[in-house]
Amino acid sequence: MTSSPPPRWAIWAAHATTLVVLPSGLWRIALVLGHPAGYTDEAFTDFQSLGAKAWMLTLSIVCELLALLTIGLVRPWGEVMPRWIPFLGGRPVHPKAVVVTAGLGALALTALWANIPWWWTYPHEDMTDTGNLVVGILYQPLVLWGPLLAAVTVSYHRRRRAHRTTA
């Protein structure tokens, strides 16, 4: 019931999505753990509330989990639900739902992170000069998240479409 194996580049790209999200997530976790991570002392106090810490930790975890979902586009669990999932385990994954969801995600991520290359042209009075430089560098990989997801989604679509026409 599985389609042809994904190309090597798609496997690489799917795994790369988890890596491009990691630097910004680790930076946010540093804030949660009490390190100013580039903010001035005055601005850092805004990040010390329980709500702010919960938001940053949740954002980091959710982003990484969403990036990990891209691996499903090159693994068998992207075609058949894993057996351990209640009520759905063992059922085939509907390719159109996956392609539409991943495609919309790729568009949203591309739009969301499109301005990051110009990070240093925006004022960041709440950061130190070094912090501004480092945070800008840590966020730059996010520009690749949307395009990588789009490429892997196209590969998934082509493999699944070819499987349907030969099945």
pLDDT digits (tens, 9 = 90+) for 109-118: 999 999 999 9
Q: What is the pTM of this model?
A: 0.89
Give the DSSP per-residue string, the chain: ---PPPPHHHHHHHHHHHHHHHHHHHHHHHHHTT--TTB-HHHHGGG-SHHHHHHHHHHHHHHHHHHHHGGGGSSGGGTB--TTSTTTTTPBP-HHHHHHHHHHHHHHHHHHTTTGGGGGGS--TTB-HHHHHHHHHHHGGGGGHHHHHHHHHHHHHHHHHHHHHH-
Q: What is the mean pLDDT of residues 66-94?
A: 88
Q: How much is the pLDDT for 67?
A: 97
Read off the pLDDT band of 2 (50, 70, 90): low
Is a pLDDT exceeding 90 seen at residue 83? no
**Domain spans of the chain?**
8-166
Taking only the tens place, the pLDDT of each residue in 4-30 is 899 999 999 999 999 999 999 999 999
